[in-house]
Amino acid sequence: MIRAVLVDVDGVLVTGRPKDGLHWSHDLERDLGIAPELLQRQFFTQHWTDVVTGRAGLCETLAPVLAEIAPSVSSEALLEYWFARDARLEEAVLQDIATLRRNGLTVALASNQEHLRARYLSERLSLAGHVDRFYYSAAIGARKPDSAFYRHIERDLGAPSGALLLIDDTIENVSAARQAGWRAVHWTTPRRLVDIVAETGE
């Protein structure tokens, strides 16, 4: 029997720019003069694992990279731009989360995030008020698909692995959850969470 549903954030609950759903960096070069592929190569490829697992701070790591590739842009300015444009909430998912909670299920977010965006999601987008818990990689010290991420959640919820259901748009994360004994569904197209829970079984 499912006791808790763990919902991924990016790609499931949050889907790009509020106005059109495009990736947050779609107009980055036009707006801030930073080529997305350069930012990917110089920052995300080299530093993101340390940042998203809490081993390095986002601003402290981003600042020297921007000093090289975009000296006129501060890390604070880029983060404000990024977070505001990576904030489209899927209302149907929020509605289904509310329904599942009313039906007695624990619903939590389970996401690879660093501390600043996790706070933005929780407070500015008010996601903390929609779920029972928010598990994210920088706070845990491990990211999906690392098994330590899943084991941390099991311990915190005090639930057996078979009672947990992950809904995630990344197949590697889904496969890792299944290997950990969880139930898991690969989110490829928008669906109703209530239907997924019903289909997955009690």
Reported as a single tens digit per residue, the pLDDT across 51-101 is: 999 999 999 999 999 999 999 999 999 999 999 999 999 999 999 999 999
3 secondary structure, DSSP code: -
What the chain holds in terms of domains, given with CATH numbers, is 4-15+88-200 (3.40.50.1000), 28-85 (no CATH)
Distance between CA 186 and CA 198 in Å, rounded? 15
pTM: 0.96
Residue 201 has pLDDT above 90, yes or no: no
Three-state SS for 150? Answer: helix
Cis peptide before 64 (omega within 30 of 0): no
Q: Please, are residues 6 and 131 in contact by the beta-carbon 8 Å criterion?
A: no
Mean pLDDT of the chain: 97
Q: Residue 188: exposed, middle, or buried by beta-carbon count in 10 A (0-12, 13-18, 19+)? A: exposed
Residue 202 has pLDDT above 60, yes or no: no
Q: Please, are residues 5 and 78 in contact by the beta-carbon 8 Å criterion?
A: no
∠ CA 144-149-154 to the nearest 5 degrees? Answer: 135
Digit-coded pLDDT (tens) for 12-40: 999 999 999 999 999 999 999 999 999 99
